[in-house]
Structure 1
Amino acid sequence: MAASLGRFGFVSRCVFYFILSDQLLISYGQSSDLPCAQNCTCNGDSVDCSDLELTATPLDLPVRTVSLNLGHNKLTAFSVEAFDNLPNLRELRLDHNELTSIPNLGQAASKIVSLYLHHNKIRSIDGRRTRELVSVETLDLSNNDITELRGPCFPAGLQIRDLYLSNNKIIVLELGALDHLGSTLQVLRLSRNRISQIPVRAFQLPRLTQLELNRNRIRQVEGLTFKGLSSLEVLKLQRNSISKLTDGAFWDLAKMKVLHLDYNSLTEVNSGSLYGLTSLQQLFLSNNSIARINADGWKFCQKLRELNLSYNNLTRLDEGSLAVLGDLQTLRLGHNSISHITEGAFRGLKAVRILTLFGNKIKSVAKKAFSGLETLEHLNTYSVTDATDVIYTTCTYLSPLLRSLIQSDSFLCDCQLHWLPDWLVTRGLQAGVNATCAHPESLKGTSIFQAPSSSFVCDDLPKPQITVQPETTVTVLGSDVRLTCTAASSSSSPMTFAWRKDQELLRHAETENYAHVRAHHQGTTSDSPGSGGGVMEYTTILHLRHVTFAHEGRYQCIITNHFGSTYSSKARVIVNVLPSFVKTPRDSTIRTGHTARLECAAEGHPAPQIAWQKDGGTDFPAARERRMHVMPDDDVFFIMDVKPEDMGVYSCTAKNTAGTVSANATLTVLETPHLAQDLEDRSVVVGDTVALQCKALGSPPPRITWLRNDQPLRPSDRHHFTPGNQLLVIGSASVEDAGRYTCLMSNTLGTERAHSQLVVNQRRSPCTPPVGPSTVTIGIIVIAVVTSIVVTSLVWVCIIYQTRKKSEECSVTNTDETIVPPDVPSYLSSQGTLSERQDVCIRVEASGGPQPNGHVVDTAGN
């Protein structure tokens, strides 16, 4: 019994240890995912194995891993097995390694959502690897050695939303390389590459909202380059070498809000290049070479809120140059070469709150130059020369100004400026103002806030007064112009003369100055201008030699003496030039059904208007049929679905106020040969003459060749052709002439055939009795009978008329006469025509001799 109990206890202990071991194994198996990989750091489901100088992937990664960071190591290849046990992996960071291609991630590839491969040595994008990344939404391949983007790089089926390819060596951007990402891609970064040209319509990505192309080598943006990016909102093209934006460069970007074009080589911004940017709110154009603001340049982006034109070559602000930007809130014009702000320069900017003009050398500001800036809160301006007028004008229109930065040491501290210090102090703006007096001498160098209020006075000294104003002049290119300005002054103070063009001082102008004394009273002349007995008249003449377009503008003379300056009215110089063609229409030859294109462009001043004529008139068949297209701002004239009636001479006329010029081009329409009237089969009798007509149309006129039974037909004694071979005449047709006649029409466009079957019948024998009277025979007989009756009746009428006439002339002249009854012709009596006049006689005189002059009389002796 004890032995049995001992054996039972042994067995029990074995079973206990077995169960315990099994539980430990199970527990270990269940908790095997809890430890982190060696040398790595785990935080929940994130594993960080970065900066460990790893050369191989750790094999003891926890199964729970969702985010794995293997960046900043020395990985060159991967073990696929390392990722097979990571079913939850969604984010993988492999940046800053030494990979030369996109690695094979095995089964994990299809589940990864974010893959970071930047700062490696990847040379190309292998489509076989990217094909496996079906769940990736963010793919970072920046800072690698990729040189090209081609179609196979991103096959269909991918879900990439953010694609980063910056800081590579991409030279080739193949058309359609990214088209397979069109349904998902939203952010594309291609900055810091070597792209020099973007193919037109290179991006067919309708969901893309942000595109970055900074620091490439792009020199020009062609029209429709970005067509296909209908959802784009941000476009960055900074630090390229862009010197030209062609018309329609940003077409199809109606939703774009931010455009970066700073740090390029642009010299102008026109309306054509900004066409289509109807939603643009921020435009950055700083650090370019823009020399002038074109007023029409902004009409397609009137929703702008911020415009940055700093660090350009602007020299002035013209009137209304920004007038269409009614929603603009921030305008930055710092660090240009602006020397003058003309009147109305900021007209229309009713919403501007911030205006920066620092870094310029503004010498003058016209009165009301700042009108329209009623909402301005921050004004930054330095280096103002004509400070008195500037400040007076500025502050008059900037009542809500909150912050002002003004720096000038050239204030004229006279009675016109006495209000300024108190005005600035009252509004708390003195902190941003550094202004000192330059005149009078007693206040020179003194701050306007420190100068006594009583010192701001005006001496009652005569200033020059303009008596002869310069006049507006219209001239032609290359001619000479002179503008005259005269002022009078009673002071003997030295007088200086200056001319301005568009508010800019002409430093090297050719002028002619002289003075003479004008007496106060007629007949009284003072020899000394300072004597007080008269006034001096000072005349200055500005000579403009061989004027060009650059001479156009508004000219103003300034006459100054010790007591002040006087400004004349502004006179315009308008330079006209006869239009000249820069694109001349050329002769064109085109087939029917195609589109004809005639190009014409002219230059002149003012810009000429282009008009078209056809054959000297305005009757365009294409216009009546709505097949003609002429764009107002285009140089091309289109005729759609060309027809033969469109052929003719087209004249392009360019007209402006200087004159009119025209150029002609002939439009030749090519048309395949065809018949105006179909050929018909003919049946004739032997001996008849046959004419077969082949009236062929076409352009150029087709060449006609006749065939009989598919053999060329030659001219002969019986076969004749009219000029052009349109008519074939066969004389005395014979049985041998029967057959199939073919009209072969050919020109440069092709060959057409038309056929006619000629049948030649034998003529019937003359002895053969007619089968029956024909309609023609009966007609001939009827006409003959009627004609005989008519002729007979006419003959009898004449005879009766002559007989009656002679009877009336018959009379008896002697009592002794012998009556001899005449012989009446039987053919008359038998007709019964003389039934009433049977008794006739012939009177003979008594001598009985024959009388040659007898006549017929009636029996009564009459």
Structure 2
Amino acid sequence: MAEGWPIPSALVFMLLSLSAWALGSCPAPCSCSKGQDEVHVLDCNRKKLSTAPLDPPDGITQVTMNHNELTVVPFFGDASSNITSLSLVHNRISELLMHQLQPYVSLETLDLTSNSISELKVGSFPSMQLKYLNLSNNKISVLEPGCFENISSSLLVLKLNRNRLVALPSKVFKLPQLQFLEIKRNKIKIVDSLTFKGMDSLKSLKMQRNGITKLMDGAFFGLENIEELELEHNNLTEVNKGWLYGLCMLRVLRVSQNAVGIIRPDAWEFCEKLQELDLSFNHLTRLEETAFVGLGLLESLNLGENSLSHLGEGVFSGLASLRTLDIRNNEISWAIEDSIGVFEGMKKLNTLILQQNKIKSITKKAFEGLEELEHLDLSKNGIMSIHPEALSHTKLKVFVLNTSSLLCDCHMQWLGPWLTDSQFQQSVSAICAHPASHLGRNVLSISPEEFVCDDFPKPRITTHPETSVALRGNNVTLNCIASSSSDSPMTTAWRKDGEVLYDAEVQNYARYQEGELIYTTVLHLLNVNFTDEGRYQCVVSNHFGANYSNRAKLTVNALPSFLKTPMDLTIRTGTMARLECAAEGHPSPQIAWQKDGGTDFPAARERRMHVMPDDDIFFIANVKTEDMGVYSCTAQNAAGSLSANATSHRPGNSILHATAGRPNSGPW
């Protein structure tokens, strides 16, 4: 203070009082300090204490006695009633008893991490306003239902990580105010239905590293306000709506490092507000077209480190809000190399990570629909070719590529100038492997006139398989021919609806013609059935890349055959006649009726004719003598048609008699 300014006596008294509280009144061997917001802290960490220090100052509100030798919750005398935070980490406390905690009437935070507590019994806690409770890294194997009852109206955070819980008993978590629950690193294998019912306010549940193998239907039912569910490092095998039932407010779901191999078609029925989904490091091999139905608000999807080789048509089309998609280290090269626009529908996608997917070529439509794409990672792929227009419609700001396999012919002339104009020289390493004159050279060091097309080493498909229609039981042959100027051996594969046909009967032929290698592959489909219907495609590959044929649709038909034919019928005039006719075939046949070879007959003109297609029944109401004749039932589909007749006549004045042409059942 400046010389000549007198110090007010009141200020002198306050400073002396604080100094006395901080120094003179602090019990040895602990230290005392005053923190922000008038918080007084008693620090007794690492003092080898087995009891509380004597005569602590009355004003303390926070106590830390971590890394000591306490065997029970310590007692601080009258000061206990003012303590709001008590930290007893790394001691030897083996049980919680109500009377030990009763003096702490103001306690809000209790940290008992790393002690030896083995169970929580009913009555472990007195009635108190505890908000934060950490019991992690103990030996807890038993939670008695009702053990949290006396703190249920106030508890906001509960941590039970690194304990020995094998099962979670029902009704143990009746904690209506709890917002954060952690049960990581226990031994819980199965979570039963309604386990967490009673936690209406819970926002976050973390259950990583438990070895969970099964989540029963309704396992999380009752968590109406939960926003984050973390289940990493468990043994879950599928995602289904049963265990997701009731999670209508869920925004974040993390299921990485599990054994998930299946996503059920209706899995997300109750989770339509999901924004982040992590399925990385699982056992996914295929994603059906229904895999993400209902996730229109999803913003981040991680599918990295799986074994994905099949993506259903339009599997990403409903993800209109997605901004980040990570598919690193899978086997979806075909989705990029084939011209199918697999990413269409993701209008807001900003970041796409495709590293390590064995991608060799980038086609024109590879990133079709990704108008907002700014970050693209294609690293760790042996990319040989990139179509000049593949990236023209994007807004790329970050482009990662490292390849030493480029086919540097005239089609790659654009790449160097584009990398320079886009300022991607630092993030891209693009080295040529062909032609021999460019081997090992960076595309940025090659002048435009050096990019020439003297040959076409990558296979070109010259004859595509053709769409066909076949009768069931017949044989079908599909042909595909490719050519290349290179001597590099070609290999072929046939795909049906996007999946490789590993056991197909295939014949391959190779020949040279005018300096080119001509390769023919023939797929034989024997005794075709309806399961053979689909879209067939050949893939021809060599050292320089792969090419994909058009998809040829195969349709398998079967001629109609009758299940029911019209029978003899005798009936009085004025009543109702009933004739049956049913047939099967592929596609399903249409049934039509005629009388005496024509469609214009009395019952039709007078609207007394009624056809019931679902019941395979033909009615004539109020039968008249002029209704007598030959009725024909015709079954027709794309494969052909089949007819059956019924002949009717009237013996006398009041009887109508019909005779079936091909009866196959008993009399009417």
Q: TM-score, normalised by structure 1?
A: 0.56
Cα distance in 1, alignment partners of residues 545 and 80 from structure 2? 88
Q: Does structure 1 conserve the Cα–Cα contact (< 8 Å) formed by 2:319 and 2:346?
A: yes
Matched position secondary structure for 2:103:
helix
Correspondence list, 1:636-785, <5 A: none
Correspondence for 2:416: 421
Q: Deviations over 1:145-174 (max 9, x none)?
A: 110223131225631111111111011211
Correspondence for 1:61: 56
Correspondence list, 1:424-573, <5 A: 424-459=419-454, 466=462, 469-472=465-468, 481-485=476-480, 498-501=492-495, 510-513=505-508, 540-544=521-525, 554-557=535-538, 568-573=549-554
CA 1:336–1:568 in 2, change beyond 3 Å: closer, same or farther? closer
CA 1:279–1:549 in 2, change beyond 3 Å: closer, same or farther? farther
CA 1:453–1:396 in 2, change beyond 3 Å: closer, same or farther? same
CA 1:175–1:466 in 2, change beyond 3 Å: closer, same or farther? same
Match among 191, 203, 208 for residue 198 of structure 1: 191
Q: Deviations over 1:649-690 (max 9, x none)?
A: xxxxxxxx99xxxxxxxxxxxxxxxxxxxxxxxxxxxxxxxx
Match among 28, 41, 45 for residue 38 of structure 1: 28
Cα distance in 1, alignment partners of residues 532 and 316 from structure 2? 23
Shift in Å, 1:84: 3.6
> Is 2:46 the partner of 1:51?
yes
Q: Does structure 2 conserve the Cα–Cα contact (< 8 Å) formed by 1:200 and 1:223?
A: yes
Cα distance in 1, alignment partners of residues 267 and 546 from structure 2? 44
CA 1:70–1:487 in 2, change beyond 3 Å: closer, same or farther? closer
Cα distance in 2, alignment partners of residues 259 and 311 from structure 1? 17
Task: Give 1 or 2 for the bigger CA radius of gyration.
Answer: 1
> Is 2:130 the partner of 1:140?
no
- Aligned amino acid, residue 107 of structure 2: I
Q: Deviations over 1:630-653 (max 9, x none)?
A: xxxxxxxxxxxxxxxxxxxxxxxx
How many residue pairs are counted as aligned between the two chains? 534
CA 1:574–1:285 in 2, change beyond 3 Å: closer, same or farther? farther
Q: Does structure 1 conserve the Cα–Cα contact (< 8 Å) formed by 2:192 and 2:215?
A: no
Match among 350, 367, 370 for residue 347 of structure 2: 350
Structure with larger RCO (C-alpha < 8 A, sep 6+): 2
Correspondence for 1:186: 179
Cα distance in 1, alignment partners of residues 537 and 310 from structure 2? 16
Shift in Å, 1:294: 2.5
Shift in Å, 1:224: 1.6
> Is 2:321 the partner of 1:327?
yes
Shift in Å, 1:199: 1.3
Q: Deviations over 1:283-327 (max 9, x none)?
A: 111110111122212122221111111111112545422111111
Q: Does structure 1 conserve the Cα–Cα contact (< 8 Å) formed by 2:66 and 2:90?
A: yes
Q: Does structure 2 conserve the Cα–Cα contact (< 8 Å) formed by 1:83 and 1:106?
A: no
> Is 2:154 the partner of 1:173?
no
Correspondence for 1:20: none
Q: Deviations over 1:431-459 (max 9, x none)?
A: 22222223322223322111221121223
Identity %: 33
CA 1:162–1:574 in 2, change beyond 3 Å: closer, same or farther? farther
Q: Does structure 2 conserve the Cα–Cα contact (< 8 Å) formed by 1:39 and 1:49?
A: yes
CA 1:473–1:165 in 2, change beyond 3 Å: closer, same or farther? farther
Q: Does structure 2 conserve the Cα–Cα contact (< 8 Å) formed by 1:62 and 1:86?
A: no
Correspondence for 2:86: 92
Shift in Å, 1:416: 1.8
What is the Cα-based RMSD across aligned positions, in Å? 4.0
Correspondence for 1:224: 218
Cα distance in 1, alignment partners of residues 107 and 488 from structure 2? 87
Q: Does structure 1 conserve the Cα–Cα contact (< 8 Å) formed by 2:80 and 2:104?
A: no
> Is 2:375 the partner of 1:378?
yes
Unaligned regions of 5+ residues in structure 2, if any?
Answer: 1-15, 35-39, 559-585, 588-613, 617-637, 640-668
Cα distance in 1, alignment partners of residues 77 and 397 from structure 2? 63
Correspondence for 1:288: 282
Q: Deviations over 1:181-206 (max 9, x none)?
A: 12x11111111111111110111211
CA 1:357–1:472 in 2, change beyond 3 Å: closer, same or farther? farther
Q: Deviations over 1:699-751 (max 9, x none)?
A: xxxxxxxxxxxxxxxxxxxxxxxxxxxxxxxxxxxxxxxxxxxxxxxxxxxxx
- Aligned amino acid, residue 258 of structure 1: V
Shift in Å, 1:111: 2.1
Q: Does structure 2 conserve the Cα–Cα contact (< 8 Å) formed by 1:319 and 1:344?
A: no
Correspondence for 1:395: 391
Shift in Å, 1:144: 0.7
CA 1:547–1:88 in 2, change beyond 3 Å: closer, same or farther? farther
Cα distance in 2, alignment partners of residues 365 and 321 from structure 1? 20
- Aligned amino acid, residue 363 of structure 1: K
Cα distance in 1, alignment partners of residues 487 and 31 from structure 2? 90
Q: Does structure 1 conserve the Cα–Cα contact (< 8 Å) formed by 2:534 and 2:554?
A: yes
Correspondence for 1:664: none
Correspondence for 2:359: 362
Cα distance in 2, alignment partners of residues 301 and 224 from structure 1? 20
Q: Does structure 1 conserve the Cα–Cα contact (< 8 Å) formed by 2:538 and 2:548?
A: yes
Correspondence for 1:255: 249
CA 1:326–1:549 in 2, change beyond 3 Å: closer, same or farther? farther
Q: Deviations over 1:314-358 (max 9, x none)?
A: 125454221111111111111122222242111011111111111
Matched position secondary structure for 2:267:
coil
Shift in Å, 1:427: 1.0
Q: TM-score, normalised by structure 2?
A: 0.71
Unaligned regions of 5+ residues in structure 1, if any?
Answer: 1-26, 517-527, 578-604, 607-615, 619-656, 659-862
Matched position secondary structure for 1:47:
strand
CA 1:550–1:48 in 2, change beyond 3 Å: closer, same or farther? farther
Shift in Å, 1:134: 1.5
Q: Does structure 2 conserve the Cα–Cα contact (< 8 Å) formed by 1:278 and 1:303?
A: yes
Correspondence for 2:234: 240
Q: Deviations over 1:393-412 (max 9, x none)?
A: 422332x1111112223322
Shift in Å, 1:574: 6.6
Q: Deviations over 1:62-103 (max 9, x none)?
A: 1111111122110113565x3344331111111211011114
- Aligned amino acid, residue 43 of structure 1: S
Q: Does structure 2 conserve the Cα–Cα contact (< 8 Å) formed by 1:414 and 1:457?
A: yes
Match among 300, 309, 320 for residue 306 of structure 1: 300
Shift in Å, 1:128: 1.7
CA 1:177–1:514 in 2, change beyond 3 Å: closer, same or farther? closer
Cα distance in 1, alignment partners of residues 104 and 545 from structure 2? 83
CA 1:299–1:475 in 2, change beyond 3 Å: closer, same or farther? farther
Structure with more helix by fraction: 1
CA 1:339–1:475 in 2, change beyond 3 Å: closer, same or farther? farther
Shift in Å, 1:554: 4.0
Matched position secondary structure for 1:290:
coil
